[in-house]
Amino acid sequence: MRKLFGTDGVRGTANTYPMTAEMALRIGAAVGRYFRRDSRGVHRVVIGKDTRLSGYMLENALTAGLTSTGMNVLLLGPVPTPAVGLMTRSMRADLGVMISASHNPAEDNGIKFFGPDGFKLSDQAELEIEKLIEEGVSPAQAQNIGRARRVDDARFRYGERVKSSLPRNLRLDGLKVVIDCANGAAHRTAPEVLWELGADVIPIGTSPDGKNINLGCGSTQPRIAAETVVAHGADVGICLDGDADRVVVVDETGQVADGDQLMALLASAWSKEGTLKGGALVATVMSNLGLERHLEAQGLRLERTAVGDRYVVERMREGGFNLGGEQSGHIVMSDYATTGDGLMAGLHFLAEMVHSGRKASELAQQFETVPQLLKNVRYGEGQTPLEDASVKAAIADAEKRLNGQGRLLIRKSGTEPLIRVMAECEDDALLQQVVDGIVSEVEAVAG
C-alpha cells in the first residue's frame, strides 16, 4: 500500500506534512535518483505549476532535490497539467513534475509526476519512489550537480498543440464564449487560444493572486460563469479548474453539463465519424448509469475503472481506446494528449457546435441521468471509519435495499480525508434514505 501517494500524486495543506519544503526536497531527490538509475547521458526534468502561493516554495525545494542528484531542471512556470505531459515527451525529458492541487482550495498543494512517455506514473513506480524517500538517497558528486533554467515559451507551445487537435480550417467566428480559468494555470493560455481561433471571448477567473485559485469560480463552482453567460447573451461557457485538466460546460441558458455529458457527445460523434477506437468509452465507477445506458443504445460499451484519470488512461492504453474520462470533467483524448485536458475538451465541444450548427443546450444534454446522490464525510487523522462494524452493517443494509434498483459506491477520497458515499436509484426517496443512513453511521464513528 502506498502511504504518501494518493489518487493523483502527493497532496496536502501547504507547509504541513507532506507539503513542506523539507519533504519536497526529499521527494525531488528520491524521484531524481529513481529516474537517473541509468548514469549515461544528460538527464532532465520539466517542472510546471499552477498559481498557488506555495508553488514558489515547492518549486525551489523540488529543484534543489532534483539537481542534487544530477538532474537538469527546466522550469515552465504556470502552465496547465496537460502541458507538462506534453513538454516532458517533446523535450525528451526523463521526468515531468506538476505542482498543483488541481480543484482544491488555495491553501492545499500537490506534486504530480509524469514519466518520459508523458503519462502519469504507475502504482508500482510510486511505491518504489516512496521506498527511496524513506531510505534517503546519496547526492551526486560535486561536479555532477544539475543545472536549472527557465523555459519562457511553454504556454505557447502548449497552446499550439491544443489548437492542432482541431481541423486546420475550423474557426470559432461568431461564437461568444465565456471562459472561466479559475484564477489558475490557464488564465492566460485559454483566452488566448479562443481569441486566436476567432471567438468573441469573455474571460473570468483570470486574475490570480496566489490565494484565489478555485475560489468561487472554475469547474467546481460554475455559478458565476453561468450568470455571466446569461448576462452577456453568450453562446456557451467553458469552466476549467485550477490546473486546467478538468472542464464543465455551461449552455446558453445557464445550465451546467458535466464530464459524463461531454463524453457522451464526443463518443457519439466519433463513433459516427469512425474514429472512436474499440467501440468503447472508458470512465470510472462514478459515471452515471444513464451514460452507460446511452452508450449501449448506440451499440457502444462503457469500460469502468477505479476513480482517478490515470486509471482511466491505463485502461485506455491496455485496450487501445482513444476516449475516456471522469464525471468530474477530466476528458482524455489520447490521440492528442497523455492526460485529462480541460481546454482541449472544451474546444472539441465548440467544434461540435460549429459542425452541427446547434446550440450548446442541444448538445450538452445527451442523456437523462439516473438520480445520483453523493455526500462527503470528513474524518480525522488516523481514523478508519469504513472498518467500523456499524458502518459495514449500514452499507450491507443499503446494498440489500438497492438490489436490482440501483447502484452504491462507498470509497475514501484519494486527495482529501473524506469518505464519499454515492448511490444511484430511480426511487428518490429510497436514494435519500440509503445515502443518509450510511452518512449518519460514518459521522457517528468519525465524530
Amino acid at 386: L
Name the least confident of 15-29, 303-317, 389-403, 412-426. Answer: 412-426
Which of the listed residues 152, 173, 193 is the one where a domain comes to its end?
Answer: 152
Q: Is residue 335 one of the residues assigned to a domain?
A: no
- Residue pair 187/205 in contact (Cβ under 8 Å)? The answer is yes
Of residues 307 and 301, more confidently modeled = 301
Report the alpha-carbon distance of residue 57 to residue 270 in Å, rounded.
43
The residue annotated as part of the active site, out of 54, 102, 271, 287, is 102
Q: Does the model's pTM come out above 0.75?
A: yes
- Determine the pLDDT at residue 38: 63
- Per-residue pLDDT for 423 more than 90? yes
Which of the listed residues 130, 152, 174 is the one where a domain comes to its end?
Answer: 152
- Determine the pLDDT at residue 60: 98
Average pLDDT over residues 298-305: 97
The domain in which residue 95 lies consists of 10-152
Q: Output phi, psi for 180, to 5 deg.
A: -105, 110
Average pLDDT over residues 100-113: 97
358 burial level (CB within 10 Å; 0-12, 13-18, 19+): exposed
334 is catalytic: no
- Determine the pLDDT at residue 382: 85
Q: Is residue 289 one of the residues assigned to a domain?
A: no
Q: Is residue 234 one of the residues assigned to a domain?
A: no
Which of the listed residues 152, 178, 213 is the one where a domain comes to its end?
Answer: 152
Q: Is residue 164 one of the residues assigned to a domain?
A: no
**CATH number of the domain bearing residue 411:** 3.30.310.50
Q: Is residue 249 one of the residues assigned to a domain?
A: no
Q: Is residue 139 one of the residues assigned to a domain?
A: yes
- Determine the pLDDT at residue 17: 95
User: C-alpha angle with apex 320: 339 to 352, nearest 5 degrees?
Assistant: 60
Q: Is residue 343 one of the residues assigned to a domain?
A: no
**CATH number of the domain bearing residue 123:** 3.40.120.10
- Per-residue pLDDT for 37 more than 90? no
- Determine the pLDDT at residue 311: 93
Average pLDDT over residues 209-229: 98
Mind listing the pLDDT tens digit for each residue in 341-379?
999 999 999 999 999 999 999 999 999 999 999 999 999
- Determine the pLDDT at residue 264: 98
Average pLDDT over residues 327-335: 97
Average pLDDT over residues 82-102: 97
- Determine the pLDDT at residue 30: 97
Q: Is residue 417 one of the residues assigned to a domain?
A: yes
**Confidence at 69, pLDDT banded by 50, 70, 90:** very high
Number of domains in the chain: 2
- Determine the pLDDT at residue 39: 59
The grid cell for 377 is 464525510
Report the alpha-carbon distance of residue 366 to residue 165 in Å, rounded.
23
Q: How many CB atoms lie within 10 A of CB 426?
A: 11
SS (H, E, C) 174-204: CCEEEEECCCCCCCCHHHHHHHHCCCEEEEE
Report the alpha-carbon distance of residue 397 to residue 195 in Å, rounded.
54
